[in-house]
Amino acid sequence: MKISFAAQRPAGSYALAIPVRSEDMLGDRLQGFDDSARTLAARAAEAQRFERETASVAEVFVPEGEGARRLLVVGLGARKDEEALYERVGGALTARLLVSGETKLVVDVSGLGLNGEEAARIGFGAAARGWRYDNYRTKLPRKQKPSLEEVVIVGAGDGADQAWGDKAALLEGLSFTRELVTEPANIIYPASFVERCRKRMEPLGVEFEVLDEDAMRELGMGALLGVSLGSEQPARLLAMRWNGGEAGGKPLVFVGKGVTFDTGGISIKPAAGMEAMKWDMGGAGAVAGAMLTLAGRKAKANVVGICGLVENMPDGKAQRPGDVVTSMSGQTIEVINTDAEGRLVLCDAISWAQRKYKPETIVDLATLTGAMIISLGHEYAGMFANDDGLAQQLVAASTASGDKLWRMPLGDAYDKLIESPIADMKNVGPREGGSITAAVFIQRFVEEGVKWAHLDIAGMVWSDKAKHLFDKGATGFGVALLDRFVAANYEG
C-alpha cells in the first residue's frame, strides 16, 4: 500500500476521512462541504451512534459537485496520549475500506495540530492493517479482493516524510515476519527460511553465516540436532549480522526459536489444530523481521540475529522420551518430552552465540509454552530476565511499540524442578509453572555476566481475531518491540 503526505486535498475520486476528537464541533471539522452535506453527515453519525471513541467510524455518502463522495468520520477519543492512538485510527480506516471498492483514501488532519511523526503513525497503522497473503487463493471472489491501494495524509506538520522512512522500514520487517509465519511448512523449512532471509537482506548489507548439520555436529550441538533427527529436512543455524554501530563493538544478540513445523515428535500432539504448528518458528520470524527493519533504516547499532531452524517430526530415527543428549555447553539433558523441543534448540543457539560473539546482552524469542497462553492469554507475552535494567528497557520498548510484555519470575525453587536423576537436567518440570521451568532451563546456558531476557511469545504470533494492526492470522509480534529496544538503548 502506498502512503504519502500532502499539504492539501488532491482532486479526483477518493474516499475522505476526517478525524474528530471528543471536544471538536463536527461542523467545524467538515469545512469545505456545504450546509446540506454537513447536516447529512451529522445525522448519519448520530444514527450510527458515533460517539467519537478512538478508532470508531461513521460512514456516509455526501453530495459533492455533480457526484457524491464517501465520507468517513473517525474518532480520536479524548486523550491525545492514548496508547497506539494514531495507529488504531489508520488501522480502523483500512479495515473499513480494504475490500470496499475504493482504491484511494485521503485522511485530512488539518487543524488538529498533528506533527509529522503522528501523521506517519496513521499511515503505518493503515498499511499494517492492509497486509494480506493471498498467494494460494486462486478463486477469491471479487468482493473479497483488496481494492485499497493508496492512502494520502493531508495537513500534518513538518517531518512526515522523514518520519515515514523509519516507519516504512518497520513495515517491511513486519510484513516479512508475517510472510514467514503464514507460509506452510512445505514451503518454509530450515533451508528455505535461510534462503528467503538471504534474498531479502544481503542486498542491504546484512552479513550471513549458516551452519549445516555437519558443522553443528562438530561443535557438539546434540540438543538442537536431537530435535531434527526425525525430519527429512536438515537443520540449520542462521546468523545475520548488521554492523551499523561502532567498528569492533560487541553486538547485541537476538536468538529466535525456528521450529518450522512441530508435530511434538514421538510425544506427538493431538491431530486437531496441529496445522497451526507451522507458526512455531514465530520467534525466528520476529528476529528475521527485526534484522530486516534495522538494515532497512540503517540502524546505528551492531546487532546479530540468530535463528535455530529445525523441524520436529516422529520418524523412526527421532529421539525418544528418556534419551539423554549432550548440549554444546557440555551439559547433559534427559529428554522427558520430545514436544518440549524449543528449549533444546535455544540452548545450543545461545551457547554458540556466546562463544562466537561474546555479547553483553542476549534476548531470545520463542513460541515456547502453551502454559504461557494459560497465564497471559493473547494480550501479553511473558518476559523472564536475569537483569532488572534489561527488563525495564524491554518493558519500556513494549509499551512504546504496542508489543506488550509482562515480567514473570525466576528463582532457585523453580530451577530445582528440572533436576534429573541421570543427567544434569531434564527438559521439562511438573505441569505447574511450565513457562517458568522452561525459562530456568534456558537460563542454565547463559554464561556468568551476560544480561539475558527470554520472551515467551506463544500467545502472540497468531491471532484468531482481527485487531487494529492485523487481520486474523500472523501478527508480526516482536518486530516493533526489538526495533524500539534497539533505537532507545543502542543508538545515540
* Residues marked as catalytic: 269, 343
Q: Which residues contact 449 (CB under 8 A, 6 or more apart)?
A: 360
Task: Give CA separation, 158 vs 5, 29, 151, 162, 270, in Å.
Answer: 10, 21, 18, 9, 55
Distance CA 291, CA 196 (A): 13
CA gap 413, 290 in Å, rounded: 34
Q: Which three cell numbers stand for residue 347?
A: 540452548
Cβ distance 18 to 74 under 8 Å? yes
Dist CA 229 CA 221 (whole Å): 12
Q: Judge whether 260 and 345 are in contact, CB under 8 Å.
A: no
Classified as helix, coil or strand, 106 is strand
Strand ranges for 122-182 from DSSP E: 150-154
H-helix or E-strand containing 40?
helix 35-47
Contact predicate 308/232, CB 8 Å:
no
What the block records as the C-alpha cell of 183 is 507460509
The CB-side HSE value for 53 (13 A sphere, CA atoms) comes to 6
Residues 6+ apart with CB under 8 A from 182: 133, 279, 473, 474
Beta strands at 332-334 and 361-366: parallel, antiparallel or unpaired: unpaired
d(CA 40, CA 306): 57
Closest residue by Cα to residue 86 from 59, 120, 112: 120
Q: Report residue 140 CA to chain centroid gap.
A: 27
